[in-house]
């Protein structure tokens, strides 16, 4: 009997290509600002996935994506591949931290206006 379910035959693609990210991180750490843009483009699905987890917490979708992207770039400057982590595993902490800081900053700003 043939399997008609096409979704079972798909291979799950990693959310960010670690080898390509490492190549860009090397360039970023050498001062290549274009590589920052390239990394953000490469990780756009990853950036949006992390940002989506914080929907409804006080920031617009655009603000969440911007904060998540900022965290990804910050992580690229600090990443040390000799420690044995994948870049995505390392970057997610920085991305969440940037989002939480942006949420906190917006709450403080709102309280000051009241």
Mean pLDDT for 15-23 is 89
Distance CA 99, CA 51 (A): 7
Report pLDDT digits (tens) over 52-83. 999 999 999 999 999 999 999 999 999 999 99
Give the pLDDT band (50/70/90) at residue 1.
very low
For residue 34, the model assigns a pLDDT of 96
Distance CA 102, CA 114 (A): 19
Distance CA 107, CA 28 (A): 32
- Tokens read off for 39: 């990394």
Are 18 and 86 contacting, i.e. CB atoms less than 8 angstroms apart? yes
For residue 13, the model assigns a pLDDT of 62
**pTM of the full structure:** 0.83
- Tokens read off for 112: 């000051």
For each of the domains in the chain, give its residue range(s) and CATH number, in order of start. Answer: 17-113 (1.20.120.1810)
Per-residue buried b or exposed e for 36-46, using 16+ beta carbons within 10 Å of the residue's own CB: bebbbebbeeb
Are 35 and 65 contacting, i.e. CB atoms less than 8 angstroms apart? no
Report pLDDT digits (tens) over 28-39. 999 999 999 999
């Amino acid at each position: 009997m043939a399997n008609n379910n096409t979704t079972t035959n798909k291979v799950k693609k990693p959310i960010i290509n670690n080898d390509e990210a490492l190549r860009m991180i090397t360039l970023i750490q050498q001062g290549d600002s274009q590589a920052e843009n390239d990394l953000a483009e490469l990780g756009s699905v990853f950036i949006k996935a992390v940002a989506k987890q914080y929907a409804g917490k006080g920031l617009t979708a655009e603000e969440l994506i911007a904060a998540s992207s900022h965290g990804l770039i910050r992580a690229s400057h600090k990443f040390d591949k000799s420690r044995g982590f994948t870049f995505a595993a390392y970057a997610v902490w920085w991305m969440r931290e940037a989002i939480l800081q942006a949420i906190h900053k917006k709450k403080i700003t709102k309280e000051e206006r009241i």
